[in-house]
Amino acid sequence: MLVLARRLNESIMIGDEIEVVVIDIKGDQVKLGIKAPRKITVHRKEIYQEIKQENIAAISSDFDPNTLRDLSDLFKKDKK
């Protein structure tokens, strides 16, 4: 892993198009600004992990497919 020391308002470039700027530093929290083309997606790493875990939770449910009908009925009741 490449490690670079940066101060407030300094930035790094990733390739020619992506710039990461240090916008604020407070205690153990760093605020980063990211300038990137629209085709590049930027998300917190935890988001990927959370979605992955939830997909696994959804698939590991012991719920019996035959009871889906009972759940559908909940909707009919609640609908006005």
Partner 1 sequence: MGIKVNTKPFGEIEINELQIIDFPEGILGFDFIKKFIIMDAEDEGSPFKWMQAFDEKDLAFVIIRPLDFMEEYELVIAQNDLDTVKSDNIDELLVFAIVTIPENPKKMTANLQGPIIINPVKRIGKQAISLSDRYTVRHNILDEMKKHTKAGG
The residues of the shown chain that bind partner 1, judged by CB under 8 A, are 38-41, 43, 47-48, 50-59, 61-63, 65-72, 74-76, 78, 80
CA distances for 47 relative to 7, 43, 65, 68, 77, angstroms: 27, 7, 29, 29, 35
Residue 35, φ and ψ in degrees, nearest 5: -105, 120
Select 27 or 72, whichever has its Cβ closest to partner 1.
Answer: 72
Select 29 or 67, whichever has its Cβ closest to partner 1.
Answer: 67
Report the nearest approach of partner 1 to the CB of residue 33 (Å): 16
